[in-house]
Amino acid sequence: MPDHISAPFIPVQYTGEETETSAERENGNEQAAIAVFQRAVKRLQHVNEWGKLCGALSSSFQLVDKLGEEIDETANAGLFIRIDIPGPGNTAGKGYDWVSIEQVEEIQLSEHQQLFFIRARPSGHPQQKHAGTAHFLKEEATSSFVVTRDENIVTATVYGRNEMPNTDTEDTIDKMRNAVIGAAGAIGISKLQWKALVNALLENEE
């Protein structure tokens, strides 16, 4: 279950798998916690760096605009994330999996509580949406990347909700690929990757 700070911002689970991958850091005082929170938020905003944070075996992530062009900016609603996962590519997504960024928010809940989150959902390729959802999970799925501060404790969590393999695609190869990767991704591969990410978000500067 989401913690009491995150709970109102996490989509309701109603079908398929749900996953939660979290890391927590307790700091000596609130000023130190604020610094850790701000650094984690900055790292999370820079989607293009996620692959480095997740490690060598991770997928690679590239922020893309509505025209399908690569951009080097911070995450914002309306942009897309192009994902290059290890293994066979997605025909509908021109070799990649795609998610759209639905919402990005930073909220000061109180003097002692802060929250930042990015929520993304499987989508079509920005230049050929007619081809359908170009992702190994159905569009009902969401991934919420959340950083919270509760007094001197900072927590980073990835919440996966309503994760089901995208086997509705008309392309037979994509259907087989998504069935295999979706089943593994919802339970195993993604969770390992996100564990590396949440840990990296809270680490000290190198």
- Residue 81 class from Cβ within 10 Å (0-12 exposed, 13-18 middle, 19+ buried)? buried
Longest dimension (CA), the chain: 55
Q: Quote the pLDDT of residue 4.
A: 83
Mean residue pLDDT across the chain: 86
Q: Quote the pLDDT of residue 137.
A: 77
Convert the pLDDT of each residue in 37-61 to its tens digit: 999 999 999 999 999 998 877 788 9
Query: Where are the chain's structural domains?
Result: 16-202
Please state, in angstroms and rounded to a whole number, the distance separating the CA atoms of residues 18 and 16.
7
Q: Quote the pLDDT of residue 131.
A: 61
Q: Which of the listed CATH numbers 1.10.3470, 3.30.530, 3.40.50, 1.20.1280 matches domain 16-202?
A: 3.30.530
Q: Which residue has the tokens 């309701």?
A: 12
Convert the pLDDT of each residue in 86-133 to its tens digit: 665 565 556 688 899 999 999 999 999 999 999 999 888 888 766 677
Per-position DSSP letters for 121-176, written without gaps between them: EE---TT-GGG---SSB-TT-EEEEEEEEETTEEEEEEEEEEE-B----S-HHHHH
Q: Quote the pLDDT of residue 153.
A: 97
The whole-model pTM stands at 0.89
Please state, in angstroms and rounded to a whole number, the distance separating the CA atoms of residues 131 and 12.
27
Secondary structure string (H, E, C) spanning 63-124: EECCCCCECCCCCCCCCEEEEECCCCCCHHHCCCEEEEEEEEEEEEEECCEEEEEEEEEECC
Residue 32 in tokens: 């130190």
Convert the pLDDT of each residue in 149-203 to its tens digit: 999 999 999 999 998 876 666 655 556 555 666 565 544 557 778 999 999 999 9
pLDDT at 71 exceeding the cut of 70? yes
Please state, in angstroms and rounded to a whole number, the distance separating the CA atoms of residues 148 and 192.
21
